[in-house]
Amino acid sequence: MDELQKTASTASQEPTPPAVEAEQHDSACGQEEACEPVVLTGTVVSPGAALGHAQMFAEGDLGIPHFSIEKTQTRSEFTRLRAAVHTVDKEFEELLADLRQEEDVPPEAIAFLELHRQLLNDESVITETQDIIREKLINAEWALSLKLEETRRSFEEIEDDYLADRIEDIAQVIERVQRVLSGRRRPADTVSRMMSESSVILVAEDFSPADILILKRRRDLSITGLIIEKGATTSHSSILARSLEIPTLVHVNGACEHIKTDDVLLMDADKGIVTVNPVQENLPLISKRMSKSSTSRLRQRRLRSAHCVTADGCAVSLMANLALPEDAKEAMTNGADGVGLFRSEFLFMNRPDFPSEDEQFETYAGVVKTMKGKIVTIRTMDLGGDKLPSREAMESIGIDPDKPINNPALGNRAIRFCLKHTDLFLTQLKAILRAGATGRVRLMVPMLAWVSEADIVQSYVRRAQEELKDQGVPYAENIQIGGMVEVPSAALCLKQFLKRLDFVSVGTNDLIQYLLAVDREDPDVSYLYDPLHPAVLSTLYNCINTAHRAGKEISVCGEVAADPVFAFLLLGMGLRHFSMESARILSIKEFMLASSAKEAAGLMRRIHRASTIQDIRKHILEYFADHEELADGFAVSQVPCASPWQNVKGAES
């Protein structure tokens, strides 16, 4: 048994836990003085508890050599570049071959490695790097760095977090090539462990999916947690950590400064806390949490094929939000009832041209095939504003890429962008209609604000169908057309929209932002972004009931759908269709199976009578205090504060 788990296990049975071995303590703290516990906080990526010794994953930057070359040396640099790419490609190939032979490998593991391999073999990256070598007469490592910075700048204006984080995938691939070129070993190969019998919590500025897989498969390491100083919740590394069920925190400020190799770490990834060199009295608690977390994960995995029905017999549909085609595999693995939102704009970003009809069709049809007969809802491109295609692509359709955008959230985006560039819109509609001939596909339009927009969309769908019919190409003749409720005008006029649409999905992320006039990314006002605001609850309740009266399906695909407390409130409002990130489906399913729709409705009736957000929160806390079995899997204390103004200087309580 692991050394630290032995200590924790023994501690949970004895009044005074035995001490951590002196030599382990001394290695981290020095022999003359005891370490003072340090508490760091981060953002939860994968929940759970972990106890282990810290292992710093990498120290310092890669240290890319920079030097000039003669014109006659360019060909040799080209050869070095392609040889290094070939070496990394072989590493990926061998790792993929090994993974495919193993049982219970998450599909995300293979998908992310395949994606990195595709990025590696993108000929444009190689040829453009060669152009830099030729023009600037510099070495291949340096040219790759310049190419990466050029690519990074093109990603800076992307609003969607998931898409913006894809630059890190490119950076990780380029760094692996640079390491080969400069003769540096991979970080995953340099990890060693002084405590031969202890669990390891890896600490780094960031990880690549390949590094996580290499380290996870090493038999000499027992990886129990990941602490990432930078990172992102939507990165492929984070998604992979969730799939592997490794407790993981990102945005842990000061991690690389305060943590040293062989420090004892107590990690509570449910609450986003890591304690460096904790006091022994906390060991019994963490041991209990680790056992409970492991049992919970095993229990939830058994629910993958179970139908989601509340304790009082109310059927609930839990669907997946997808940002990339490969996410469909994770959705199936986690038992999603279908795809409630497939974001299509990734196809249009970071490329010099726009995707063809055939390319889009192949992508959409691939997702439909992966979902094996389950519904796939494809959202038309949510482009424009500050989520822009490349400069070359914009210029090709007459957009000035240097034109300033004063308020991107209220600008020419989503359906407005589509109706200004109807050739692009028609191409996408035809691709979606063709995919609809291969399986169950629905079409959904973002950011509808005018009822006339729904009429215009339908006319373009009919036009796309006629063109496909004339071409003799199979297409969906009766595709369902839906819209997203993200703008207050759509929520207020929903009855009129539902006369024209087959279904609607509420995008709470934007709807809350527009309702409360709050940019949640702006730290000066983000404290005002509160889904428990009475106006938000009232708007959602009215939308759900309006859809039910019209006999139309309504779902919620924003982040609140995956929050247990808010999902319970939505259940009480009458919502029966939820869509969320795939990794959250099983925990929400377990929560719903134990919930009562009738009691949720009763809680909502009490909330409707509340006049302040303080009273709303009080009702929620009181309910879950009386139903501890429901609150067992999450922290009710994370319910938004009683007043967003409570921490504002000079505000009244």
Cα 638 to chain centroid distance, Å, stands at 20
User: Residue for token digits 């919620």?
Assistant: 556
Residues 362/398, Cβ–Cβ less than 8 Å: no
d(CA 418, CA 314) in angstroms, rounded, equals: 39
The C-alpha atoms of residue 125 and residue 131 are separated, in whole angstroms, by 10
Grouping H, G, I as helix, E, B as strand and the rest as coil, residue 86 is helix
Distances (CA, A) of 379 to 56, 356, 364, 393, 519: 42, 17, 11, 21, 23
For residue 559, the surrounding DSSP H or E stretch is none
What is the C-alpha to C-alpha distance for residues 209 and 110, in angstroms, rounded to an integer? Answer: 10
Query: Degrees (nearest 5) of the Cα angle 411, 343, 119?
Result: 110
Tell me phi and psi for residue 580, to 5 degrees. Answer: -155, 175
Phi then psi for 155, rounded to 5 degrees?
-90, -15
Task: Enumerate the active-site residues.
Answer: 236, 557
Contact 448, 480 (CB under 8 A): no
Q: Strand, helix or coil at 273?
A: strand
CB 642 within 8 A of CB 617: yes
CB 617 within 8 A of CB 639: yes
Beta strands in 215-355 (DSSP E): 223-228, 248-250, 264-268, 273-276, 317-322, 338-343
Q: How many CA atoms, within 13 angstroms, populate the side-chain half-sphere of residue 298?
A: 6
Give CA–CA dist 328/326, Å, rounded.
5
Residues 6 or more apart from 462 whose CB is under 8 A from it? none
Q: How far apart are CA 80 and CA 163, in angstroms?
A: 31
Decide if 310 contacts 339 (C-beta within 8 A).
Answer: no
Distance (Å, whole) CA 47 – CA 49: 7
Q: Which residue in this structure is represented by tokens 């029966």?
A: 576
Reported as type and span, the H/E element at residue 116 is helix 107-120
**Residue 446, both tokens:** 């973002």
The 8-class DSSP code of residue 219 comes to T
Place of tokens 């009458």: 574
Collapsing DSSP to helix, strand or coil, 214 comes out as helix
Residue (of 147, 136, 134, 138) closest to 85 by Cα position: 147
The DSSP call for residue 349 is S
Decide the pairing of beta strands 49-56 and 200-204.
Answer: parallel
What is the Cα Rg of the chain in Å? 26
* Torsion of the alpha carbons at 417, 418, 419 and 423, rounded to the nearest 10: 130
DSSP string, 379-410: EPP--BTTB---HHHHHHTT--TTS--S-GGG
Give the separation between CA 507 and CA 510, rounded to whole angstroms.
Answer: 6
Q: Rounded distance, CA 289 to CA 188, Å?
A: 29
Give the residue among 36, 3, 30 at the shortest CA–CA distance from 19.
Answer: 3
Task: Identify the three-state secondary structure at position 13.
Answer: coil
